Structure 1
Amino acid sequence: MTASADPARPRTGAAVAALSLGTLLNPLNSSMIAVALVPLQHDFGVGVTAVTWVITSFYLASAAGQPLMGRLGDRFGPRRLFLFGMVVVALACALTPFAGSFAAVCAGRVALAIGTATAFPSAIAMLRPLAASSKVGTPRLLGRIQIANTSGAAIGPVLGGALITFLGWQSIFWVNVPLAALAFVGAWLFAPKDAERARTPLRQTLAESDIPGILLFVATLTSLLIFLLDLEPQPLWWLLPVFVAAGALFVWRELRTPHPFLDLRLLAANRRLMLVYLSFAIFNVVYYSAFFGLPQFLQTHGGYSAGVAGLLMFPLAAVTIVITPLAARAIESIGLRPTLVTGAIALVVGAGLLAVAAFTTAPWAVLLLTAALGIPYCVVSIGMNQALYSSARPEDAGVAAGIFQTSRYVGAIVATTVLGLLFSGGTTSGNWLAAVGVATALAVVHLALLVFVRPRSRGAAEGAAA
């Protein structure tokens, strides 16, 4: 090790810590809200179906924002974009608690999603110069960020439950202000400065960002979601032709534009990659059905407070933190495919065990259920990330990663929509069993799909990731 590399090590560690903190904010806020749904219903007088929009709006903005922010980072510099995103997060979370309507809360969640969407693509873009300056491998730095993301999503209900119990639902916004400030200061001081970039006209930047494609994507999903969530008392039938037209225009646009928001041509040319996205989306439908459904069921049916419901989700976080490094080692030792199949089997078992909650919500039972759910969450999450890199061509890695994140959000949106439909008649044991049945069936489909996902050998996968 050279003398010049020594001082770079602590600086790299501080930079990665700041970037990890920034990327943690998106999964943390996507999970903290799980225990806030019932308090929001009470404070704003909205129903179970309507309250799901506080989740759906966040994921719609995230799904559209992640690929777009990656391109803006390439254009303006990842460090600048990361810092800008942390400012947006701090402002949105400082103001949203004073919202006077549920619609304003959803608007604050959209702003929060846009701000946090800058973090992950910016952090990934800054890993290469950090690795070069510190002589630390890029996969190791990437692993630290992935662990932060996984842990952040898992610990969200515990933190959210404690905050809501003592400070109210507003506190799950306020807690982001100091976190975003720390990430901003750390990135400002330690992250690598952006290289000089040629000035590009705003018109060209907007054209290459495929704003029409993004708007059509959002219009397609939103029209379908509004139709599904408003089936009672009278379906809005006119939304179905809007959905079909918006979807058709979206596909037409993405196939014609040279800079598509979602590269459909990439999917058509790489069947294995398309199967990775599909299986990952289905996995997220299963996971988020439990992740958002169980806290609601515990509060409305089991009579638990938000704080206790959050604590009962703690095994999910604990198991995730413990199993994640073991899952990474399993991929190295026994290979990607056996690890993924093992995680998929555990997902089927974990989804099926959720039916126990319909018969008893005793603390010991809920603790066992959440612990069982934590195993497939971390194993499949890490495995699917590796499957992505092994299935995508190196020159397509950036675009492929953006679509991968979008498939996660689409899965979460579908999960919240299904829960909204099933719980619209009340959070009863029968409706919970119906939700568990849907989740278990999809877990079986996910397992079957993995039979057709054929990643390259472990050595090839590691080379692609590097």
Structure 2
Amino acid sequence: MSVRSRWLMISVGLGILLNPLNSSMISVAIPRLQHVFQLNFTDVSWIIFSFYIASSIAQPVMGKASDLFGRRKIFLTGLIVAFIASLLAPLSPTFGWLIVFRIVQAIGTSMMVAVGMAIVRIHITEKQATALSVLSIFLSGAAAIGPFIGGIIIHWWGWPAIFFVNIPFVVVSFLLSWRHIPKDEPSTSVALGMSFRKWFDLIDASGILLFTVGLVALLLGLLSAKSSGYFSLGNVIIVLVALVLLAAFVRHELKATSPFIPLRTFAKNPAMTWVNVEFMLVNVLYYSLFFGLPSYLQMVRHVSEFQTGILMLSLGFCSLITSPIAGRWIDKSGPRPALLVSAILMTLGSVWLVTLNQTSPVISVCLALAAFGISNGLNNVGMQAALFQSSPKEIIGVASGLFNTSRYLGTILSSLLISIVMGGEFSFRGFRVLGIILTVIALSLVFINQRRREDYSPRLEEG
């Protein structure tokens, strides 16, 4: 990799790590936020839900915007938005205001994740899996080390500090990105002096509106049912309205001249669809462990925040060590073998969780964390490599955005799964049931990778 490519990777990496870093640090802060704002576990979990709902919508929207208006501009704007949110969130007078600033933070960091992957796809044209492994170090490292950093910061300075810690990353990334991210070629579809109607059609504002309202309604209906513990008539109506809106979105996209999400392209490339489905399931598994285990350690085993962060560190180390190895492996053999090994490791890790009992040494949890950490390193590189193989270059922005929406949908479903299994209180019995469910999901991924990866070529295309 050339010196220019290395600096480009560092510039992008420092920006995209903000999203997983902020999603992971908050997992250790949940008990502290419950105490500070006098909330129960279900209510405080909206600090997680709001971030991922906003991210799941912002990712493809910003991907579409970057395809039209330039990836460099969107990336730099995202850094500014994240900076503002990080300054204001610690000043929140109520939990409601904290949710608002988390949503703003999610939008800003989402701008960088979707666009950052597209920048790599466009400007690094050889050994892309190796390049992806570098980004994976930023992404998986930030996500997995986040609880450790969060535990230390909260222990010494309190929960507001987990927002202030973003500021140096934002400043350095902005300065490097301004210098090292190449300026974009102007899109042939965008022209000065266009009428409002043409701009409206170009960005597919109707499609974005249908997608946003439909997805928000669906997630709110599901989350409200989770909060109350059952599906009320109101929840059912909201979900039905959401499904109607999403159906209208599909119909609109099939007719639009410049669709927000090119569904016809997905239909012609079914591998793109399977990549997103599998990635969603992978994240249901990973984040069920990621959010469930810290709460289990603190609420069931009474482990301190600091010790919980130390234990979760094994997840990050295994991901970091695995990522560069995965990059070289995938450049030679393609993503299928790595993804199959990853699914097997997640199965073994899930089975190990089921075998734990209330007297098992806390350190034994590290075995499950190691299995999931290695699989996470393989997945972060392998799934993105599979996306690059299956996605046309001209829609890589929206494809990357939708890919990350699959990540956030999986994350939201993992939070729903934990809440449904645990009910109103986190318990050891519920944790064991969770392990059984995760084992079933992991086995399904083994099956998918055996049956659905034959259509990928042996290696990533170079040039």
TM-score normalised to structure 1 length: 0.89
Secondary structure of the 1:451 match is helix
Q: Give CA deviations for 1:155-205 in whole Å, capped at 9, x if unaligned.
A: 111111111111111111111112111111111233223445633556544
Q: 1:124 to 1:270 in 2, by over 3 A?
A: closer
Once the two structures are superposed, the pairs formed by residues 282-431 of structure 1 within 5 Å of their partners are 282-360=281-359, 362-394=361-393, 396-431=395-430
**More off after superposition, 81-90 vs 115-124:** 115-124
Q: 1:127 to 1:433 in 2, by over 3 A?
A: closer
Once the two structures are superposed, the pairs formed by residues 60-99 of structure 1 within 5 Å of their partners are 60-99=53-92
Query: Which of the numbers 19, 26, 29 marks the counterpart of 2:22?
Result: 29
Secondary structure of the 2:303 match is coil
Letter in 1 for 2:224: F
Query: Which of the numbers 152, 171, 179 marks the counterpart of 2:142?
Result: 152
Distance 2:450 2:5 in 1: 40
Letter in 2 for 1:65: A
**More off after superposition, 269-278 vs 79-88:** 269-278
Asked whether the 8 Å contact 2:133–2:326 carries over to 1, the reply is no
Secondary structure of the 1:36 match is helix
Distance 1:429 1:325 in 2: 36
Q: Are residue 117 (structure 1) and residue 110 (structure 2) matched?
A: yes
Q: Are residue 171 (structure 1) and residue 161 (structure 2) matched?
A: yes
Deviation at 1:152, TM superposition (A): 1.7
Distance 2:117 2:285 in 1: 27
Deviation at 1:231, TM superposition (A): 2.8
2:174 equivalent in structure 1: 184
Query: Which of the numbers 151, 154, 160 marks the counterpart of 1:161?
Result: 151
1:462 equivalent in structure 2: 460
Q: 1:38 to 1:333 in 2, by over 3 A?
A: same
TM-score normalised to structure 2 length: 0.90
Letter in 1 for 2:155: T
Distance 1:12 1:154 in 2: 25
Secondary structure of the 2:460 match is helix
Q: 1:127 to 1:400 in 2, by over 3 A?
A: closer
Q: Give CA deviations for 1:359-416 in whole Å, capped at 9, x if unaligned.
A: 2463321222211221211123322222223334455544432221111111000001
Asked whether the 8 Å contact 1:228–1:417 carries over to 2, the reply is no
Asked whether the 8 Å contact 2:335–2:385 carries over to 1, the reply is yes
1:238 equivalent in structure 2: 234
Letter in 1 for 2:149: L
**More off after superposition, 373-382 vs 50-59:** 373-382
Identity over the aligned pairs, expressed in percent?
32
Distance 2:397 2:84 in 1: 29
Distance 2:28 2:356 in 1: 17
Deviation at 1:302, TM superposition (A): 1.2
**More off after superposition, 26-35 vs 447-456:** 447-456
Q: Which runs of 5+ in 1 are unaligned?
A: 1-7
2:93 equivalent in structure 1: 100
Secondary structure of the 1:230 match is helix
Query: Which of the numbers 36, 39, 50 marks the counterpart of 2:32?
Result: 39
Deviation at 1:337, TM superposition (A): 2.5
Letter in 1 for 2:137: I
Distance 1:385 1:9 in 2: 21
Deviation at 1:263, TM superposition (A): 3.9
Distance 1:106 1:241 in 2: 25
Letter in 1 for 2:413: V
Distance 1:263 1:313 in 2: 39
Distance 1:457 1:348 in 2: 23
Secondary structure of the 1:243 match is helix
Asked whether the 8 Å contact 2:422–2:430 carries over to 1, the reply is yes
Asked whether the 8 Å contact 1:99–1:105 carries over to 2, the reply is yes
Once the two structures are superposed, the pairs formed by residues 429-440 of structure 1 within 5 Å of their partners are 429-440=428-439
Asked whether the 8 Å contact 1:213–1:260 carries over to 2, the reply is no
Distance 1:121 1:454 in 2: 24
Q: Are residue 443 (structure 1) and residue 442 (structure 2) matched?
A: yes
1:252 equivalent in structure 2: 248
**More off after superposition, 175-184 vs 206-215:** 206-215
**More off after superposition, 113-122 vs 223-232:** 223-232
Deviation at 1:120, TM superposition (A): 2.5
Letter in 2 for 1:21: L
Q: 1:11 to 1:394 in 2, by over 3 A?
A: closer
**More off after superposition, 321-330 vs 306-315:** 321-330
Letter in 1 for 2:251: L
Q: Give CA deviations for 1:221-267 in whole Å, capped at 9, x if unaligned.
A: 333323322334x7532121221122122222232232444444444
Secondary structure of the 1:425 match is coil
Query: Which of the numbers 55, 59, 64 marks the counterpart of 2:52?
Result: 59
Q: 1:429 to 1:318 in 2, by over 3 A?
A: same
Distance 1:263 1:366 in 2: 43
Q: Are residue 224 (structure 1) and residue 221 (structure 2) matched?
A: yes
Distance 1:194 1:313 in 2: 40
Q: Which runs of 5+ in 2 are unaligned?
A: none
**More off after superposition, 277-286 vs 213-222:** 213-222
Distance 1:49 1:423 in 2: 10
Asked whether the 8 Å contact 2:129–2:327 carries over to 1, the reply is no
Letter in 2 for 1:222: L
Distance 2:375 2:185 in 1: 40
Letter in 2 for 1:407: S
Deviation at 1:84, TM superposition (A): 1.2
